[in-house]
Structure 1
Amino acid sequence: MISEEQVRNVANLARLGLTDAEVEKMSGQLGAILDSIEQIQELDLANVPPTSNPLNLTNVVRPDEPHRELPREEALRPAPDDADGLFGVPRID
């Protein structure tokens, strides 16, 4: 079990403002996570090869190959607004 003091310390490092109820809840949840990690660490994984994904997937994205440059006028054509040859966007206050 992780103590509430440890939860408050981690929350402070992460700049999180937690209520007392959240600290108490997180203490139990983080304790359960650490217990699960301890169980995993007890497994004999000496003959298990490292893997980043359990599924045998391959990259289906096209190769990154250079193409002709898109002319500015063509790029701006679908834009609802342009300002001096740039994309015009609403001001954010």
Structure 2
Amino acid sequence: MIEFDYQSENYRKFSKDFYTFSSMSIPLPFVTDHILKSIANIGNNYFLLNYDKSNDKQNHYFMFTLKTTTNGYIYEYIGHRLSL
């Protein structure tokens, strides 16, 4: 199982950052599965919010670390960047 650390402060920070920069009208909980699948399938440690979906028309990279747990894997949010 792959998931975000939903009950943590780092997930709340990710949520806050996502809503700060995103211009999408879709709430974050409706896209988290897509974000997780994208990160896991590609093998990156980040999620890219494209410039055309951001408030300031810039690319935004949301960085994560992958932690192994007894139940699978958890992505913990570590921060936001404008470039890699």
Q: Which has the higher strand share?
A: 2
Larger radius of gyration: 1
Q: What TM-score results when the alignment is normalised by the length of structure 1? A: 0.27
Q: Which has the higher helix share?
A: 1
Q: What TM-score results when the alignment is normalised by the length of structure 2? A: 0.29
